[in-house]
Chain A
Amino acid sequence: DQQVKQNSPSLSVQEGRISILNCDYTNSMFDYFLWYKKYPAEGPTFLISISSIKDKNEDGRFTVFLNKSAKHLSLHIVPSQPGDSAVYFCAASAVNTNAGKSTFGDGTTLTVKP
């Protein structure tokens, strides 16, 4: 049972436009969510996170939105840049209840075209 799902394996956008990456989860005990970015031949690097007590967190060009009722979160990148081309992983964990391990989605490959 995959508790964190990224249903779009790939996404292609034009430079300067918005990139929206989506993530769905099934475990209602998850209360902390993170996005990681991964370049080829490197390990994932942390990008941005959000606690379940919030519905939005912003860091520069990156904004994460959380919809708890829909068990859905999204990462918005505005404006998109060619250097953003990478694989993006969504991860979720149950920090307060310790009821579940941090679980990663399968990733979405973002390609930003110049």
Chain B
Amino acid sequence: DAGVIQSPRHEVTEMGQEVTLRCKPISGHDYLFWYRQTMMRGLELLIYFNNNVPIDDSGMPEDRFSAKMPNASFSTLKIQPSEPRDSAVYFCASSQQGWGTEAFFGQGTRLTVV
């Protein structure tokens, strides 16, 4: 397996635009996580899915953020409208058994909102 694949690797957008980040988890992994890394807040969990169902989205900063997982091999994180403070590295990760087992991270998407 190629690991967790995220796209794009880099995204630069203007404030107010919609941004969509994509993730393909490792086949057979039942859990998918979206994280955000910033200098101020470190690595924070935004939302996670189990068997394509969102389980906990309490980390999503506000209604401008939404995430979907239409099938076991694809998930999106959307920001609409984007703001400069959304600039960060967004990681997607997947694992076989959820908490307590190792998660495999993608390479991340570096988002810059100008």
Chain A interfacial positions (CB closer than 8 Å to B): 31-32, 34, 36, 41-46, 49, 51, 89, 93-95, 98, 101-107
A107's nearest neighbour on chain B, judged by CB, is B42
Q: Looking at chain A's contact residues, is the secondary structure mostly helix, strand, loop, or mixed? A: loop
* Structural contact, B107 and A41, CB atoms closer than 8 A: yes
Closest 5 pairs (CB-CB, A-B): A43-B105, A95-B100, A46-B102, A32-B100, A93-B99
Complex CA distance for A89 and B103, rounded to whole angstroms: 13
Chain B interfacial positions (CB closer than 8 Å to A): 4, 42-45, 48, 56, 59, 91, 93, 99-100, 102-108
Complex CA distance for A32 and B102, rounded to whole angstroms: 11
Q: Which residues of chain B are near A94, meaning CB under 8 Å?
A: 99
For A46, give its contact among B43, B56, B104 (CB under 8 Å): B104
For A107, give its contact among B4, B43, B103 (CB under 8 Å): B43
A16 to chain B, nearest CB (A): 28
A40 to chain B, nearest CB (A): 11
Complex CA distance for A43 and B48, rounded to whole angstroms: 17
Q: Which residues of chain A are near B43, meaning CB under 8 Å?
A: 44, 89, 104, 106-107
